Chain A
Amino acid sequence: MIWNVRIKITLKKGVLDAQGKATYKALLALGFPKVQEVRIGKLIELKIEGASLNEVEVQVQEMCQRLLANPVIEEFVYEVEES
């Protein structure tokens, strides 16, 4: 079975998000004064083969911890659905 996985990676609270901050200022300058905060992260989409949802989740968890996210500065969440 093929599964679609969407992984969202964001900087942990407390880690300076310089891109988010600069983009926030640009939005204010563009005339969106109600914007309160901007945080920028990454979206990773992948397709993976697996017999069960659990099998896929175990693998996604491991790939996030070892490569896709850096736990020192980042957090991740993911969604898995059948392709």
Chain B
Amino acid sequence: MKFGVVQFPGSNCDFDCYYALRYILEVPTEFIWHKESDIANYDCIVLPGGFSYGDYLRVGAIARYSPVMEAILDFAQKGGLLIGICNGFQVLTEARLLPGALIRNNCLHFICKQQTIRVENIGTPFTNLCQKSQILKIPVAHGEGCYYADRYIIEELEANNQVLFRYCDNQGRITSDANPNGSLNNIAGICNKKRNIIGLMPHPERSMEDCLGSTDGRLIFESIINYLKI
């Protein structure tokens, strides 16, 4: 089992992801430089958060054409597990590996805070150790996290249970007050139809140890490890 963490120029959660996987969960993990073209030996690839290419043009738009993305498209097509966190989620939508887009938060502010999200589907490689409707405490930190897609795509996502996480309040209620950025249907994370690609705005790698206020992020990475072991 081997994890790879992609480094784009401007990624800044790459070391956090590497630390979480390599030192906390103790699974083999390596960095993948954005100019790499061979990623054949990996089981799961992480596109970390940050500000790839300075967020120029649109968030994720330029990273999407990084040399490594060619190999990642191929990896994903063959069923490899791919997780995009925050800026990584934005890159995945720009690459059309996930539907929709992430646009400016409706409040216009950059939000950086502890957030509660509700698990909506536990039948995926990324959520199999969660309980149905479990409330997770995982921080968000973004300026462009408002999930948008047209009505037909939203209906399709809902019909196929592709919404994996929604912003909720402490009781698990999905309300507009609990929605930090204006995302449609309070969407915080989705997967593709084949369920091998996930994108989410919250940062599980920042909630791995008690000293950080929550260890709920472990559930997502441990689910992946659990899935790969079977």
Please report A residues at the B interface, Cβ cutoff 8 Å. Answer: 11, 14-16, 18-19, 22, 67-68, 70, 72-73
Say yes or no: is B230 at the interface (Cβ < 8 Å to chain A).
no
User: Contacts A70-B58, A72-B93, A72-B149 given: A16-B106 contact, CB under 8 Å?
Assistant: yes
CB pair A72 B100 closer than 8 Å:
yes
CB pair B103 A16 closer than 8 Å:
yes
CB pair A18 B148 closer than 8 Å:
no
CB pair B93 A67 closer than 8 Å:
no
Give Cα A18–Cα B182 distance, bound, in whole angstroms. 10
Give Cα A11–Cα B150 distance, bound, in whole angstroms. 13
Please report B residues at the A interface, Cβ cutoff 8 Å. Answer: 57-58, 61-62, 65, 93-94, 99-101, 103-108, 146, 148-150, 182
Give Cα A73–Cα B65 distance, bound, in whole angstroms. 19
- Shortest A68–chain B CB gap in Å is 7
- Shortest A9–chain B CB gap in Å is 9
CB pair B65 A16 closer than 8 Å:
no
Give Cα A11–Cα B146 distance, bound, in whole angstroms. 14
CB neighbours (8 Å) of B62 from chain A are 67
24 contacts between A and B (CB under 8 A): A11-B103, A14-B150, A15-B148, A16-B106, A16-B182, A18-B103, A18-B104, A18-B107, A18-B108, A18-B146, A18-B182, A19-B108, A67-B57, A67-B61, A67-B62, A68-B57, A70-B58, A70-B94, A72-B93, A72-B99, A72-B100, A72-B101, A72-B149, A73-B103
Give Cα A73–Cα B108 distance, bound, in whole angstroms. 17
- Shortest A70–chain B CB gap in Å is 6
Q: Which of chain A's residues has its CB closest to B99's CB? A: A72
User: Contacts A22-B108, A67-B65, A70-B61 given: A16-B148 contact, CB under 8 Å?
Assistant: yes
CB neighbours (8 Å) of B106 from chain A are 16, 18
CB neighbours (8 Å) of A73 from chain B are 101, 103, 148
Give Cα A15–Cα B103 distance, bound, in whole angstroms. 9
CB neighbours (8 Å) of B57 from chain A are 67-68
In the A-B complex, the 6 residue pairs with the smallest Cβ-Cβ separation, listed nearest first, are A72-B101, A18-B104, A73-B101, A18-B108, A18-B106, A22-B108
CB pair A70 B108 closer than 8 Å:
no
